[in-house]
Amino acid sequence: MKKTEDEWKAELSSEAYNILREKGTERAFTGKYYQNKGRGVYTCAGCGQEVFQSTSKYDSGCGWPSFDKPMNVESVSEQMDKSHGMYRVEITCSNCGGHLGHKFNDGPIETTGERYCINSAALKFDKEN
């Protein structure tokens, strides 16, 4: 998916643009989906691709929505992120390249052992009826 930065700026809120296009982050415990318990599908706020299911969401206590796995292996891409003096795995939408958050290996051991720490502003939630 190719768009100019002007097109992205026109379509996204300033917070979503900062996160998705400039690899920003929202403050912990402030995102609209942090405590969302609804059933449904989380999509990329940039392009609408399905990226996470509510059934994989759990309360990690980290301050951001956390998931133990993506919708499927093709829905997200992973890159090494060495910014801010840390080594982390950056998670992006595989369709539009938007920054979603990071993956850590401190998730629930009874499932995948992974924690996908995702910014609420990078997501939209499609509630199940």
The angle subtended at Cα 116 by Cα 100 and Cα 29, nearest 5°, is 75
**Average pLDDT of 101-120?**
95
User: Thinking of the domain 5-127, which architecture would CATH place it in?
Assistant: Beta Complex (2.170)
Indicate which residues carry an active-site annotation.
Answer: 117
Q: 40-44 and 66-67: which strand pairing?
A: unpaired
56-110 pLDDT, tens digit each:
999 999 999 999 999 999 999 999 998 888 889 999 999 999 999 999 999 998 9
Residue 129 above 90 pLDDT?
no
pTM, 2 dp: 0.94
